Amino acid sequence: MTVVIISTDGDQSTYNVIDWLHHFKIKVHLIDDKNRLHVNSVQLSKNNHLRFEYDNKKIDLMEIHSFWHRRGNISIAFPAIKYLEDFDFEKQFVKHLDQEQRKLKEYFNFEFRQKKHLGNIFQTDINKLIVLEKAQRLGIAIPDTLITSNKEELLNFKSKYQSIICKPLSDGLMAHDLEIGIITYYTNIISDDNLKILNNTFTVSLFQEKIEKKYELRIFFIDGDFYTMAIFSQEDTKTSVDFRKYNYVKPNRTVPYNLPVSVKDMLKVLMRELNLNTGSIDMAVTLKNDYVFFEINPIGQFGMTSYPCNYYLEKKIANYLSN
Amino acid sequence: MSNQLLDKSHFKLYANCIPVKGASRSIICDIQRGRYNFITNDLYEILSEQSDLSINDIFSFYGAENKEILEEYFHFLSSEEYIFFCEFEELGLFPKLDLHWESPSIITNAIIDVGIDSNHNFPDIFIQLEDLGCKALQLRFFTETTLNEVSEILAFTESSSITSLEVIIPYPIKVTTKQEYISFASSNLRLSLVIFHSAPQNSVLENESLPCTYILFTEDQINDEYHCGVISKSYFTLNIESFSEAQLFNSCLNRKISIDKSGNIKNCPSMSLSYGNIKFQTLKEVIRMKEFKKVWSINKNQINICKDCEFRYICTDCRAFISTIDVLSKPAKCNYNPYLETWEEK
């Protein structure tokens, strides 16, 4: 039995799952971003036959039992063409090759997903706003959310709530510079000082009411099952807005949590609508015991939930892929 | 604190703060933050037997004469962040930590000893360990060797599954500069600990360039396998992996395999029983023997005296040097008395 895994080089969680797959005596083809995939042949006929090569290993789709898209992407080898900016034809040609690659990649993903699979290669970059809207439509509480470029609108929004936050529409930003250091942009509270220096119009940004939470929930979802961890981040001012701003000296308490069935049922529907069979879901329990939904990360780090709660998620993933 | 007490009706231990009862006192093992604290056996009872009661009920159960002590207890528990205050309805949302332990590796750790007459085939041994999923390896050199020689042996682990290497080597005869020590340690990124034994004095090599590798010098002469089995507070380990493993398995020998200086395959080099020799047997063949695996599950709940000790799930064990002929007797090199709460000088 063979499992194909697409991941990035150096991802420890991937290796931990592979250890379990080896334990179950299952052959693993790990496709990370070190090399390109060489397509040998694809026969589109009654019995589709897809053969490719990775890292000098020949892989036949017919022999693959299951497929896991952990993170990263596949890149298929196409001739590298150097082009001069001035020659429009060559520029067009490179674009065309990109499209050719894209279509082949889509086909790979389609074929992989006919197998038993975990993760969706074209859904790793899901849209926060669409997810929030879908969640809300299903009756899941979300924080009041405003996207605006207008100061007055923002001031009105702020006056409604004790405190508001600003977060990226996409992923967090982390930039390195030798001179300056590391700049990170996750989630921040908007202070009155922030507002003072703001122009009447600014770059369109996402704002949310700040939820006063008793504890945050990090929920790992796999094939209908939920593994939840509660994070007591409120006691620590450093992490109460964004758990990722770790406190290494006195880390937040992280303990297993029993998610109520009613919340699980709603989340199951949401995951189905988003065409995801795995992912990490961020929620919080408010001071009034309401469950508020924040976002889903389809390629979330499950290791940080697995270890503190002793969930052995790596084994559960390996089990899923090998059954 | 008292405000919080009035605020919420109940309390809950964080699942990773686990009380362990000893003969005369108990400890709370904070396996998330890697610390422990002593508590009285009375407080242990409250935390384990009465944890579903409301705080008011606990206070009235113990009566007015104990009010002050109880207040002190709760203050201690909440200021150390062992407990949080909550409502009755929340109690069921926080399950206990599941303390089962398992590993995808057939062997998780190994020791290989090298003496003057050793003639180990290292590349072959490492391939065998890789096949068993071994993650941690300790190499002990009892007799004179050079850093180059050790480097060459370690290089064979380059593409293996081993993630952590510990090396114990005699203090070099040849004068060695700090830079030479550091370049040795940085030659293999898997090295987490290098100990030079028989050194002129105990010291730690300060080096900022290698934050994940410790280089130590010790006056102890580790020239044979008898230098092991010491039980001490400084060897306590507090993390979820070792704590859960210690529930049902031996905290030293579980999933361990050793090759002594003569090539004998054993549970531990210090034990006398050999199950074969690496020249003639494979590690796999030895592991297939039921007898070999017997010691893996001798746990502290079964060992005499240890089973009454509050440190039993954070302590190491030793089955090579034990106090009597009984296989379940206490490690000989442990001088803690859990009945008197004292570490006796020997």
pLDDT tens digits, one per residue of A275-312:
899 999 999 999 999 999 999 998 778 999 999 999 99
| CB-closest option in A22, A232, A254 to B84 | A232
pLDDT tens per residue, range B77-122: 999 999 999 999 999 999 999 999 999 999 999 999 999 999 999 9
Does A310 sit within 8 Å of B104, measured CB to CB? no
Highest average pLDDT, of A14-28, A185-199, A246-260, comes from A14-28
Chain B, 148 to 187: residues with Cβ < 8 Å from chain A are: 161
Q: Check residue A96 and give its pLDDT.
A: 86
Instruction: Report the share of chain B in percent with pLDDT over 70.
Output: 98
pLDDT tens per residue, range A134-172: 999 999 999 999 999 999 999 999 999 989 999 888 877
B228 close to A (CB below 8 A): no
Please give the model's pTM, rounded to 2 decimal places. 0.90
Query: What is the rounded average pLDDT of the residues B289-303?
Result: 97
Query: What is the rounded average pLDDT of the residues B291-299?
Result: 97
Residue A184 bridge partners (DSSP): A174
Residue B15 buriedness (CB in 10 A; 0-12 / 13-18 / 19+): buried
Chain B hits for A19, Cβ within 8 Å: 104-105, 133, 161
Q: Which SS3 state, helix, strand or coil, does residue B167 take?
A: strand
Q: Check residue A131 and give its pLDDT.
A: 95
Chain A hits for B100, Cβ within 8 Å: 310
Work out the pLDDT band at B40, boundaries 50, 70, 90: very high
Q: Worst-scoring range by mean pLDDT, A197-201, A314-318, B279-283? A: A197-201
Does A23 sit within 8 Å of B94, measured CB to CB? no
Work out the pLDDT band at B206, boundaries 50, 70, 90: confident
Q: Does the pLDDT at position B33 exceed 80?
A: yes
Q: How far is B330 from chain A (nearest CA, A)?
A: 30
| CB-closest option in A19, A308, A318 to B105 | A19
Residue from B33, B194, B50, B185 nearest A255 by CA: B33
| CB-closest option in A20, A235, A307 to B240 | A307
Q: Which SS3 state, helix, strand or coil, does residue A136 take?
A: helix
Q: Check residue B165 and give its pLDDT.
A: 95
d(CA A225, CA A220): 8
Q: Check residue B318 and give its pLDDT.
A: 95
Chain A hits for B244, Cβ within 8 Å: 310
Does B81 sit within 8 Å of A235, measured CB to CB? yes
Distance of CA B106 to the CA centre of its chain: 18
Residue from B164, B330, B317, B326 nearest B254 by CA: B317
Does A253 sit within 8 Å of B97, measured CB to CB? no
d(CA B282, CA B271): 19
User: Helix/strand/coil (H, E, C) string of A151-180?
Assistant: HHHHHHHHHHCCCEEEECCCCCEEEEECCC
Residue from B156, B68, B104, B132 nearest B265 by CA: B132
B133 close to A (CB below 8 A): yes
d(CA A223, CA A317): 10
Chain A hits for B77, Cβ within 8 Å: none
Q: Which amino acid is at A298?
A: P
Does A22 sit within 8 Å of B133, measured CB to CB? yes
Q: Does the pLDDT at position B2 exceed 70?
A: no
**What number of other Cβ atoms are within 10 A of residue B118's Cβ?**
16
A291 close to B (CB below 8 A): no
Q: Check residue B118 and give its pLDDT.
A: 93
Cα atoms found within 13 Å of the Cα of residue B305, Cβ hemisphere only: 19
| CB-closest option in B33, B89, B133 to A251 | B33
pLDDT tens per residue, range B45-77: 999 999 889 999 999 999 999 999 999 999 999
Query: What is the rounded average pLDDT of the residues B178-197?
Result: 92
Q: DSSP H helical segments within B91-199, as ranges?
A: 122-131, 147-155, 178-186
Query: A283 and A233 in contact (C-beta within 8 Å)?
Result: no
Length of chain A: 323
- B144 against A82, higher pLDDT: B144
Q: Does the pLDDT at position B5 exceed 70?
A: no
Does A312 sit within 8 Å of B14, measured CB to CB? no
Work out the pLDDT band at B42, boundaries 50, 70, 90: very high
d(CA A233, CA A245): 10
Q: Does the pLDDT at position B274 exceed 70?
A: yes
Chain B hits for A255, Cβ within 8 Å: 14-16, 94, 97
d(CA B13, CA B35): 15
By DSSP bridging, strand A225-232 and strand A253-257 are antiparallel
Average of per-residue pLDDT values in chain B: 93
**Phi, psi (deg, nearest 5) at residue A296:** -120, 135
Q: Does the pLDDT at position A257 exceed 50?
A: yes
Q: Which SS3 state, helix, strand or coil, does residue B176 take?
A: coil
Q: Does the pLDDT at position B172 exceed 60?
A: yes
Residue from A164, A81, A119, A135 nearest A299 by CA: A119
**What number of other Cβ atoms are within 10 A of residue B175's Cβ?**
6
Residue A43 bridge partners (DSSP): A49
Q: Check residue A38 and give its pLDDT.
A: 86
Does A235 sit within 8 Å of B104, measured CB to CB? no
d(CA A311, CA A278): 16
Work out the pLDDT band at B9, boundaries 50, 70, 90: very high
B97 close to A (CB below 8 A): yes
Q: Which SS3 state, helix, strand or coil, does residue A45 take?
A: coil
**What number of other Cβ atoms are within 10 A of residue A45's Cβ?**
6
| CB-closest option in A23, A260, A308 to B16 | A308
Average of per-residue pLDDT values in chain A: 87
Query: A285 and A291 in contact (C-beta within 8 Å)?
Result: yes
B88 close to A (CB below 8 A): no
Region for residue A3 given its phi and psi (left: phi exceeds 0; alpha: psi -120 to 50; beta: otherwise)? beta
Instruction: Report the share of chain B in percent with pLDDT over 90.
Output: 84
Does A257 sit within 8 Å of B133, measured CB to CB? no
Task: Kindly state the tokens that stand for B190.
Answer: 């898997």
Mutate to test the interface with B, among A310, A312, A313, A316 (most CBs of B within 10 A): A310
**What number of other Cβ atoms are within 10 A of residue B22's Cβ?**
19
Residue B37 bridge partners (DSSP): B28
Region for residue B95 given its phi and psi (left: phi exceeds 0; alpha: psi -120 to 50; beta: otherwise)? beta
**What number of other Cβ atoms are within 10 A of residue B269's Cβ?**
21
**What number of other Cβ atoms are within 10 A of residue B139's Cβ?**
20
pLDDT tens per residue, range A109-137: 888 888 899 987 777 678 999 999 999 99
State the complex-level ipTM.
Answer: 0.90
Task: Kindly state the tokens that stand for A58.
Answer: 């020949």
Task: Kindly state the tokens that stand for A108.
Answer: 């790979």
Q: How far is B306 from chain A (nearest CA, A)?
A: 25
Q: Does the pLDDT at position B346 exceed 70?
A: no
| CB-closest option in A22, A253, A256 to B95 | A256
Q: DSSP H helical segments within chain B, as ranges?
A: 2-7, 41-49, 55-62, 67-79, 122-131, 147-155, 178-186, 240-248, 283-288, 290-293
A262 close to B (CB below 8 A): no
Q: Which domains does chain A have, with CATH numbers?
A: 2-118 (no CATH), 144-209 (no CATH), 213-322 (3.30.470.20)
d(CA B249, CA B303): 11
Q: Check residue B1 and give its pLDDT.
A: 45
d(CA A241, CA B80): 22
